[in-house]
Amino acid sequence: MPKIAMIGAGSVVFAKRLITDVLSWPELQDSAFSLTDIDSNRLEMIASLARRMVKERRLPAQIETTLDRREALEGADYVVVTVLIGGLDHIQKDIEIGRRYGIDQAVGDTLGPGGVMRAVRTIPVLLDICADMAELCPQALLINYSNPMAMNCWAISRATKIKAVGLCHSVQHTSHLLAEFVGLPYEEMAYWVAGINHQAWFLRFERKGKSLYPELFAAMDDPSVYDPERVRFEIMRHFGYFVTESTRHMSEYVPYFRRTGELIERYLGHYRGVEVISRYRQSHSEHYAEVQRLIASEEPLEWSRSDEYCSYILHAIETNTPFRINGNVTNSGLITNLPAGCCVEVPCLVDNTGINPCYVGDLPPQLAAINRTNINVQDLAAKGVLEQDCKAIHQAVALDPLTSAILPLDQIEKMTAELLAAGGKYVRL
């Protein structure tokens, strides 16, 4: 009976998805879930739904809740982290402050002023979790879903000895999208993806050994294909490869698409950060209402396994059934033209020996160059948090490709100071 500690289980929709995924595997249906969160109401909401799932299917799984993180971690085999430190209120502050200075972030969760501030708030909490794990479950695998993924995982690898992997769903989602673009059944497509989180590259995109890139380039001529993904297709047009993260996200990581309102309108239309936060709030409210409806309903719950990697990892390890994922891991010679020790997203083979990252070698030089502009920011942000060095945080923001294309250094310094002050109790510098 593997014990799965879920930290941040109050993120109800995501927790529901992961619990459903795990219980969809017959070999994992005796798992013990220990759910913890700082919000007792949301915690009990997801626990009630999980218990209904278990009771309805007459499964041997155990569901427990606790507000004590250490209790959840005691003896855990897997620790799944889905925390959002400071919540949407602080993400909104990041976006609004940046916007006053002319930095119009679409999401602000990975790079730029918002991504760096999110790292400042999140990394200390992750290190606290790792310290507890070292004492209470030192052999457990930490599965991190919290952004900014690369900065978080890099800090964990620098400061701890905990086994960890960072998971995202951009590879899965993009691979399905590419199959649609070229009109092929998904199961006939093969791909090999590597780079960094939210900026990994489809190095191979094939069917029966033949590249599908000519078909993908041809698909750009169809406005219904091109228009929703203008940024990604323009990156492919000029640099040769399709990137994993959405047009909305990718627009923040390079200096070409968000410097002016005209550029944003041309390539992204309505993708502006303040509007995105408003949609997040509405979506969260709708999701919580739906979960409450499911708890109260007498209708049988519908189950389907998602393409999130988490349950596949657990199944592969527990049953020794090999499975390939794309995971965020330390670059120990995996991508040879990216810095050693940085966080890379590469194919990984998973079996009962754990997470085994695959060797990639050199990326095409233009792709490695784009990645390195983002890695520079990640490096200094992780350093700043780990060493409590405010100067490094200022430098991280100053090296962000979009920010540095818009603001002079004195304004970047002023904006960063304001962002740090707005972080309040969540800033431990």
Q: Give catalytic residue positions.
A: 169
Q: Which residue has the tokens 């050693």?
A: 340
Cα–Cα distance measured from residue 66 to residue 122, given in angstroms and rounded to the nearest whole number: 21
Angle formed at CA 381 by CA 375 and CA 383, multiple of 5 degrees: 100
Residue 426 region by backbone torsions, left for phi larger than 0, else alpha for psi between -120 and 50, else beta: alpha
Cα–Cα distance measured from residue 12 to residue 45, given in angstroms and rounded to the nearest whole number: 8
Cα–Cα distance measured from residue 177 to residue 376, given in angstroms and rounded to the nearest whole number: 30
Angle formed at CA 413 by CA 412 and CA 419, multiple of 5 degrees: 85
